[in-house]
Amino acid sequence: SRNRAEGKVLETVGVFEVPKQNGKYETGQLFLHSVFGYRGVVLFPWQARLYDRDVASAASEKAENPAGHGSKEVKGKTHTYYQVLIDARDCPHISQRSQTEAVTFLANHDDSRALYAIPGLDYVSHEDILPYTSTDQVPIQHELFERFLLYDQTKAPPFVARETLRAWQEKNHPWLELSDVHRETTENIRVTVIPFYMGMREAQNSHVYWWRYCIRLENLDSDVVQLRERHWRIFSLSGTLETVRGRGVVGREPVLSKEQPAFQYSSHVSLQASSGHMWGTFRFERPDGSHFDVRIPPFSLESNKDEKTPPSGLHW
């Protein structure tokens, strides 16, 4: 899969093995995304719990107790993800493979429907990082690069966090942090879901809780398939169960092929309760016209009980 990252960007950079500190890449590390091929820079790492239902399935198949058939105990394992900036020059090249990721947050005023976005911010798994070095003092084109990072040739990597980056991370921690990642594979299509709690707003004398969820679809086979439909079930702690059906995702019906095996997008959901669950299926079509359903792993929507202040954007 790492060969997919080789493209125009490799004409200007060289990939090197970069020493990791404590098994993680450091703030300021330049990298290529091994699946989507864009240039980026690491802002800081997050520790998430990865719930991999494929691992749970493999373990249950080995279990000798037939009474446990059909049930999966999914144990979370600690996994490193990175908050990164995407090079704006590469966004046009990845638009067919994904939405250009943005972090969204709620407005700081009474309009509960107002969502704001910071484009070019992504979350990248440790194994998707291809590190490289550059002699350019501003190697990534993003409006936040020089606000967040300072060039220091005595350091390795030579970009260190400014106080503005530390303050921004600390102030906006509740809606930036990812805590759980869910993954499941059906018919060689792997679905990864990362939910984010965004906050609560009051609307018409009731509380509305908001979440963002990022979904990545990966075709692990060489056969071409196309996503045609989505089918969601959304359960709220208030006792409601909502069913959502529709064509494609975010207005698109992406094709997953050997050349472009992955697609990524984000969407939002709101509940009138502090927690809930989501699960469902994606319906894919093969070239011969036949269809199959791919499971979306169940994931919980939890609110951050310790959130004291509403999120803020880029205001210092």
**Contact criterion met (CB below 8 Å) for 12 and 107:** no
| pTM score of the predicted model | 0.83
Backbone Cα Rg of the chain? 20
Tens digits of residue pLDDT in 206-217: 888 999 999 999
| Nearest residue to 185 (alpha-carbon basis) of 111, 294, 106, 259 | 294
Tens digits of residue pLDDT in 15-27: 444 545 557 899 9
**Contact criterion met (CB below 8 Å) for 140 and 30:** yes
What local confidence, expressed as pLDDT, does residue 173 receive? 81
CA 83/CA 101 separation, integer angstroms = 11
CA 123/CA 48 separation, integer angstroms = 11
Q: Among 25-39, 84-98, 289-303, which stretch is predicted with the lowest mean pLDDT?
A: 84-98
What local confidence, expressed as pLDDT, does residue 15 receive? 47
What domains can be seen in the chain, in order of their start residue?
16-60+76-177 (no CATH), 186-305 (2.60.40.1470)
Q: Is the pLDDT assigned to residue 234 strictly greater than 60? A: yes
Residues 6+ positions from 129 with CB-CB distance below 8 Å: 25, 29, 31, 33, 34, 42, 82
